[in-house]
């Protein structure tokens, strides 16, 4: 092989080695890139899983039994919710209060009910969970009272502010509806949008122009509440009607009566004390016997449409005042109660005096 040929062969070998080296480098870089992308994908899904878990539970565990998907931190504070719910007269709303807290904070901050603002303070000023619960329950109990026991109206007002109750009173007979919430939010947004503090970041808000507060707040809270408690107690509640029948024909209506054991044994009741007594027989407490009245009873339970009424639900009538009379729904358009002219009796809610005075308020009691 001549010199030129040898040089060409050497050059070709060098090029081949260089090409092989480049190929190895490319293959190596591709492998590294593949590993990097795999790590990134795994990391992304891990973050997503952590975020999802954090949105529901600080420990990743969930509990049920009246509530669902409640964080362990909030569930562990149930005795605190029960303590202040009893103190402020809303013992039957513990599950709602815990669900509200889940929507407000998920248990991730110390101001667990985000109640600082109800004191006129900046968000998260309260730095103690129990203090937050005390103030949050205090405020919710007031809002619930202002909402005449309409839990959904109270919840939306907890988010919007008390002005929503006034708006509902003026535009929807004091009752909650999603449509009224949208209208209120839309109007309020027009008043405050120039501040730049509000934006339509939620799809539903953007579609409706209802960008003040959260128009989906009630639905969001209720998704954490199961019907377990209602289902468990409904069998007992249905028995309330049967329990009360023992006094038909052998009882007397006495205003203020039924608040002592001797009154009860003699069958002397007014309307609210009879309801209290009947529920007590199946193990359901409705507050304090000495102070029970129609106004206290209408704050109990959750409001349901009359079309969905079930035996055991409380029903209210406008007599000498708004919600002046209360009874227990017995099914088929009838109720059992202690009436002034008859004592304990079953009456029609759909015609006659009681039909004319039934105001549509139906409350379902759950533990």
Place of tokens 């719910």: 85
CB 235 within 8 A of CB 205: no
| Calpha distance 175→47 (Å, rounded) | 42
Written as one string, the DSSP assignment of 68-133 is -S--HHHHHTHHHHHHHHHHTT-GGGHHHHHHHHHHHTTT-SSSTT--GGGGTPPTT----HHHHH
Q: What average pLDDT score do residues 216-222 get?
A: 89
Work out the pLDDT band at 36, boundaries 50, 70, 90: very low
Q: What average pLDDT score do residues 6-26 get?
A: 49
At 76, list the tokens: 């562990």
Q: Render pLDDT for 293-306 as a digit per residue (tens, 0 to 9).
A: 999 999 998 888 89
H or E stretch at 325: strand 325-331
Mean residue pLDDT across the chain: 81
Q: What average pLDDT score do residues 312-333 get?
A: 95
Domains 72-222 and 229-364 are alike in CATH topology: no
Which residues, 6+ apart, have CB-to-CB distance to 84 below 8 Å? 133, 134, 137, 138
Q: What average pLDDT score do residues 352-361 get?
A: 96
Fold for domain 72-222? Answer: Lysozyme (1.10.530)
- Closest Cα to residue 300, out of 321, 274, 279, 283? 279
Domain boundaries, the chain: 1-56, 72-222, 229-364
Please give the torsion angle defined by the CA atoms of residues 63, 67, 71 and 72, in that order, rounded to the nearest 10 degrees.
-50
Fold for domain 229-364? Answer: endopeptidase fold (from Nostoc punctiforme) (3.90.1720)
Q: Render pLDDT for 47-101 as a digit per residue (tens, 0 to 9).
A: 333 333 333 332 222 233 356 678 889 999 999 999 999 999 998 899 999 999 9
At 245 the pLDDT is: 92
Work out the pLDDT band at 196, boundaries 50, 70, 90: confident
For the chain, percent of residues with pLDDT exceeding 90: 53
**CA 306, 310, 225: angle at the middle one, nearest 5?**
90
| Calpha distance 136→224 (Å, rounded) | 18
Q: Render pLDDT for 116-148 as a digit per residue (tens, 0 to 9).
A: 999 999 999 999 999 999 999 999 999 999 998
At 207 the pLDDT is: 77
Which residues, 6+ apart, have CB-to-CB distance to 162 below 8 Å? 143, 146
């Amino acid at each position: 092989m001549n010199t030129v040929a040898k040089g060409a062969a050497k050059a070709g070998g060098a090029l081949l080695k260089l090409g092989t080296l480049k190929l190895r480098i490319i293959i190596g870089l591709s492998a590294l890139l593949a590993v990097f992308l795999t790590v990134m994908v795994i990391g992304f899904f891990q973050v997503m899983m952590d975020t999802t878990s954090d949105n529901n539970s600080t420990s990743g565990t969930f509990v049920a039994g009246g509530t669902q998907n409640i964080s362990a931190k909030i569930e562990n504070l149930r005795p605190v919710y029960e303590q202040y719910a009893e103190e402020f007269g809303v013992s039957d709303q513990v599950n709602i209060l815990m669900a509200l807290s889940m929507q407000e904070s998920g248990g991730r901050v110390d101001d667990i009910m985000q109640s600082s603002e109800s004191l006129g303070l900046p968000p998260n000023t309260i730095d103690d969970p129990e203090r937050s619960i005390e103030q949050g329950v205090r405020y919710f109990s007031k809002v619930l009272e202002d909402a005449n026991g309409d839990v959904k109206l109270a919840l939306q007002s907890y988010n919007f502010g008390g002005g929503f109750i006034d708006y509902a009173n003026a535009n929807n007979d004091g009752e909650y509806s999603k449509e009224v919430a949208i209208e209120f939010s839309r109007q309020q947004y027009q008043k405050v949008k120039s501040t730049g503090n509000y934006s339509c970041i939620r799809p539903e808000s953007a579609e409706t122009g209802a960008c003040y507060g959260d128009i989906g707040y009630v639905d969001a809270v209720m998704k954490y509440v199961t019907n377990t408690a209602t289902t468990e107690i409904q069998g007992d509640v249905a028995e309330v009607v049967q329990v009360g029948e023992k006094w038909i024909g052998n009882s007397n209506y006495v205003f203020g009566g039924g608040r002592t054991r001797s009154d009860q044994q003699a069958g002397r009741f007014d309307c609210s004390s009879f309801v209290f007594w009947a529920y007590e027989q199946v193990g359901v407490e409705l507050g304090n016997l000495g102070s029970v009245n129609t106004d206290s009873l209408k704050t109990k339970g959750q409001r349901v449409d009359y079309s969905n009424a079930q035996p055991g639900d409380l029903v209210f009538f406008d007599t000498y005042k708004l919600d002046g009379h209360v009874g227990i729904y017995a099914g088929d358009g009838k109720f059992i109660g202690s009436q002034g002219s008859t004592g304990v009796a079953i009456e029609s809610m759909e015609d006659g005096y009681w039909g004319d005075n039934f105001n549509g308020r139906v409350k379902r009691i759950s533990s």
